[in-house]
Structure 1
């Protein structure tokens, strides 16, 4: 019997209970948010039920949907738009990323009040863009000089954001001590209640930024740390935001430090593709992200803390996602917003071709040229699976409401 609530609870049982409850509440807000928080369900089902043949392999994002594309500034100070979440990244079939992306088109589009008829047209158009880009065989970058329409305006807007305003939005200056602290809003940032844990984190990150070989000079002063909640799928894992002062450049920086876990795709009993051996899961994420993105975000690195591996990156005012509310009731605008996303999937696969078990570029090109063999089946499967997600969402909401009601009665 299919029980999405039980499957989701089983998958998340090792995570922090306080934040897992927050994750479940967010997942009840819409079918699309539910989809974002249950990547493991999608691939458990796809691995067992795939209706088309795909013998090629490539590096995939693993949790690809329209909210996992966004902007960021590279170490060269250029703002790019690209795939931006690699927690689930793994060696798999190229159509796996594409199918999840197309499924997200149906779910996000429905939330934008776009009809099924229009969404089927949009899905096919976007799949054709992916196929055409993959068949062409050359990977490009997406930056404001190379795009137009809604995405060009979006990249231009985020490029002009003020860094000082960004820091002041996320922190506050104590006028007495002239010390800056993070703003604890109980939504995105949460206080670390354990003084011991707080001190350990400050000490660990100070040593990480200022290695013993560079001491006694302390360039990076770690001023504060808080628990950070962002996205949906990763909620419940250890995640922190650090406020740091760079004494050389006289400015503040925010660092996101997120626990790295095994990709949920590889946990499926139906998943059979052999993976490289990794030193730790943070190495996997950093390696694949470096392969697939045209340029990586500034300060991307990894660290170890108490036996756990973490991914480190700088938070930036340029780091953002498209506001899809602008596409409400506007199928053409929704297509415009997602047009380059479809192409970026192909570019990322071509960029990482031939590395550590991935099919080479010629094999991927041939696969795209034979798209007539699998395109129709993929579109049909993803549309039908979007309907399955809607049913799973309703079932999850009903079960979660019953659990919360029982919990409320027991507390009285």
Structure 2
């Protein structure tokens, strides 16, 4: 497998400025490399054995430690759940779980967590997942009962005011707000991009009960994530409930084909476009969907429009990497969230019913096999990252 060519081909057509940021991030450590190369992971994943014998379920398609976080739902309440569905597809749950455990092992290498502790975290994740699946009942994380890092994230979001949030991304000029173009979260747009996004929002607003809410005040190219860096993506500042302190921030992101789905094409439903797939499965798998979640089409491309979700609302691994007890608690909650998402979406468009998932959870043999597979995959990711790093340092990933 020629790693360099596969990565270059997978990233063709992306915005050069943000693609350069992606390649740089992937060079920083093996965990960032894993996040930026979902396509390589599924190319590497064995398609027989444990992966073949498991039932089918709806998967987020890119399960790793940083694709969980807190957010405000469309009911304005705060939730913690899986929060990225760009790669969502129908697949054996073992595909999803193996990527998650691989991310635990690889992040341990990046954040100086011992191999022994990483294995314990992986085992805790699987045990929590299986126990939640065995109940056959989809639940959700509640602020009153959860503890540790997850509770901190929920409290942090609950207490954050709209002005505080706006001030992290925008600045006031003559009582109007504009994006802070710092090269870290936002970059300037061209006039053509600004015009296209503004016209789209005008069309979208005309279909909504309160079109004045969606009046565009500013547009920027958004910098967020690792895997999606370089994909066409915009942060949009809209009037909301009034300027300057009741404005809202929206995220408009191009939807691309799923890396997971391409290995299972015969079992995937027919979607009108990729954005419909992403939004449908996000609504299906989350306990409560994020605010302003819509699949939209601009020309020949489809996009997901939703409330802008800041990176700060994700689990701060770097901060807690030496607190194993805290990490244990959070991976247990993550395991529950995955099980609940699968139960919530069970029996839909080809996915296994709850009884089949319960039967899967009752079996024990697959758990050990899955852990062994993920350990092997994590070593492969580290080797691939070393190959990538050498090529990056030699200039193979210079973006012109």
TM-score bin, normalised by smaller chain: over 0.9
Quote how far apart the aligned CAs of 1:203 are: 1.9
CA gap 1:16/1:316 in 2 versus in 1, 3 angstroms: closer
- 8 Å CA contact 1:162–1:317 kept in 2: the answer is no
Does residue 382 in structure 1 map to residue 374 in structure 2?
yes
Q: Aligned match of 2:251 in 247, 256, 263?
A: 256
- 8 Å CA contact 2:51–2:95 kept in 1: the answer is no
Please say which of residues 43-52 and 31-40 is displaced more in the overlay.
Answer: 43-52
Does residue 80 in structure 1 map to residue 56 in structure 2?
no
Aligned to 2:320: 327
Quote how far apart the aligned CAs of 1:72 are: 0.5
Q: Aligned match of 1:368 in 361, 375, 379?
A: 361
Does residue 209 in structure 1 map to residue 205 in structure 2?
yes
SS at match of 2:104: helix
Structure 2's unaligned 5+ residue stretches are none
- 8 Å CA contact 2:255–2:303 kept in 1: the answer is yes
Aligned to 2:182: 185
Does residue 13 in structure 1 map to residue 32 in structure 2?
no
Quote how far apart the aligned CAs of 1:360 are: 0.4
Aligned to 1:337: 330
Please say which of residues 127-136 and 13-22 is displaced more in the overlay.
Answer: 13-22
Moved over 4 A (4+): 49-53, 247-250, 316-319
Q: Counterparts of 1:62 and 1:31 in 2: how far apart (Å)? A: 19
CA gap 1:142/1:388 in 2 versus in 1, 3 angstroms: same
Structure 1's unaligned 5+ residue stretches are none
Aligned 1:97-246 pairs, distance under 5 A? 97-175=96-174, 178-193=175-190, 195-211=191-207, 218-246=212-240
TM-score (norm 1): 0.91
Q: Counterparts of 2:189 and 2:127 in 1: how far apart (Å)? A: 48
Q: Counterparts of 2:48 and 2:17 in 1: how far apart (Å)? A: 34
Q: Counterparts of 1:196 and 1:344 in 2: how far apart (Å)? A: 41
TM-score (norm 2): 0.94
Quote how far apart the aligned CAs of 1:227 are: 0.7
> How many residues are treated as equivalent by the alignment?
399
- RMSD value, Cα: 2.2
Task: Specify the structure having the higher radius of gyration (Cα).
Answer: 1
Please say which of residues 396-405 and 253-262 is displaced more in the overlay.
Answer: 396-405
